Structure 1
């Protein structure tokens, strides 16, 4: 971008072409997001004020963000935020970026909680920036959610999001491994356990787009040899924490949903698979038996 006065529309048009030349999969959207972040205007306002000149400070910020995008940095890391369902969340480098396909995971849990009504107790494992936990708390009145995240940086960001969105009273963020940090008095009382665990098979990580492979935390991606290492631990552990009839819902790689469905049927009832917005298998869910099985008996079956 030359050092002259640029209007909003000129900046958008130039950036769209520039990003397209460098292989951006959605150059128009990227240009809008970056300029919106640089100017403080919404994406709609950019077009309403298309002839507004950029200030020197805005132009410098915008130029820097374009360079970062061309270098492969995710849009959400550059702008510092991402939209998820009805919320806008803070995100940053080193923390997994919430994806639109995860929204169906929230839908599955909300349907279950809507049937039971009243104050719901929910644990969100592998919570990341808090997208799922905060959405459940925001959309299910009276829900009490414990968001568990192993990475301290991600947990701190989830707590920041909860505070900024006014949901800190409904969502408690805990740092630790899966069920370990949960208060002991929740054992056998949770209405739902929800998780978006790492689910990419280790051998497939190298084939991911560079923007994901090189910029997202590996711990949030690597699901072990078959992509189900963490999912198995969650299936096993949730039996001790769910109330009879409580739901376990997990997002998984589309190639692993069928296998996870079979595994879950050994321990849970009413197991179903759900598709995401692109009609791909994405979520597997099941209910804790009405008669609790002994979690210490392999397979959860009573003798």
Structure 2
């Protein structure tokens, strides 16, 4: 891509698609669109109605750098620095787990718990009480910020062990104007949460590290294993190390009738549901599938 040549949007798209395909990108055209949209400030649709528009020298230089990062296997979301999730757009950066489309199903489950709790607050004496949600392992803040933006009046307390993740979640919170609706705390599980709030949460939601160590080492694509933080991926021998701790936390954190919603490794969900039933105190514990019909979410509801 020589800077002294005329590089139109169409030419850059075509060249980038071919180059990334040769480098092994599974979706080279999509990658090319994302990268070019990020560099030019145009939407992916706008790219196609501006095919003849030439790139400026600065845009061409930025595109070249982005292409090389993507060709080296770096995830698109890290290269562009953002991604859409449900109804919001989030900043992304290396060192913090990239939100996945399947996690949107986890938000749906959590919102069910929020709505059920809101219905119980229709009594006059309870009307002014906000529904409270606790999220453990917030990462970019995708779950907490989605819940707060889609259910105004809900208050979310989000925690993460990673200083970098907390800083990013705070920036995303500020960009979305949700400072009054979401608290972000750096701590292990809920150790930094106000003890007076324990027992008041209607929903405990988490997308914890859940990939079994062997699977992470042997089966996870390099694009994930080489770039995303191991802290947010490795779930121990069976993928349930953090889940077991969440299961211990849940009875203390949740109000009667509260919901635990956790995303887990597809091969570990039945065992997770069995652990919840063995613990007791749950009126139900069920496994839900994602859009590809793979086991994805454990939803358990506390007895009243």
- TM-score, normalized by length of structure 2? 0.94
1:261 to 273, 280, 284: 273
For the residues of structure 1 that align with 2:285 and 2:262, how far apart are their CA atoms?
12
Which residue matches 1:100?
A: 101
Counting matched residue pairs gives: 290
Which residue matches 1:252?
A: 264
Which residue matches 1:83?
A: 84
Offset from partner CA, 1:268-297 (integer Å, 9 cap, x none): 22111111121111000111121xxxxxxx
Alignment partner of 1:148: what SS? strand
2:295 to 281, 284, 293: 281
Q: Does the alignment pair 1:229 with 2:254?
A: no
Pairwise CA distance, 1:211: 0.6
Pairwise CA distance, 1:82: 1.1
For the residues of structure 1 that align with 2:287 and 2:45, how far apart are their CA atoms?
37
Which residue matches 1:23?
A: 24
Which residue matches 2:162?
A: 151
1:37-52 → structure 2 map (5 Å cutoff): 37-52=38-53
Alignment partner of 2:16: what SS? helix
Alignment partner of 2:102: what SS? helix
For the residues of structure 1 that align with 2:150 and 2:247, how far apart are their CA atoms?
25
- Name structure 1 gaps, 5 residues minimum: 291-303
Which runs of 4 or more aligned residues in structure 1 lie more than 3 Å from their structure 2 counterparts after TM superposition? none
Pairwise CA distance, 1:167: 0.8
Which residue matches 1:299?
A: none
Backbone CA RMSD of aligned residues: 0.9
Q: Does the alignment pair 1:194 with 2:205?
A: yes
Which residue matches 2:12?
A: 11
Which residue matches 1:59?
A: 60
Offset from partner CA, 1:72-119 (integer Å, 9 cap, x none): 111000100011100100010111000001000000011121122152
Alignment partner of 1:265: what SS? helix
Q: Does the alignment pair 1:214 with 2:226?
A: yes
Which residue matches 2:177?
A: 166
Offset from partner CA, 1:149-194 (integer Å, 9 cap, x none): 0000110000110011011110000001001011111111100000
For the residues of structure 1 that align with 2:97 and 2:108, how far apart are their CA atoms?
20
Q: Does the alignment pair 1:114 with 2:115?
A: yes
Alignment partner of 2:73: what SS? coil
Offset from partner CA, 1:204-248 (integer Å, 9 cap, x none): 111210010110100100101110000000011111010000000
Alignment partner of 2:24: what SS? coil
Alignment partner of 2:55: what SS? coil
Which residue matches 1:140?
A: 151
For the residues of structure 1 that align with 2:212 and 2:297, how far apart are their CA atoms?
17
Which residue matches 1:272?
A: 286
- Name structure 2 gaps, 5 residues minimum: 122-129
For the residues of structure 1 that align with 2:283 and 2:185, how far apart are their CA atoms?
29
Which residue matches 1:128?
A: 139
Alignment partner of 1:73: what SS? coil
For the residues of structure 1 that align with 2:158 and 2:199, how far apart are their CA atoms?
17
Pairwise CA distance, 1:5: 1.2
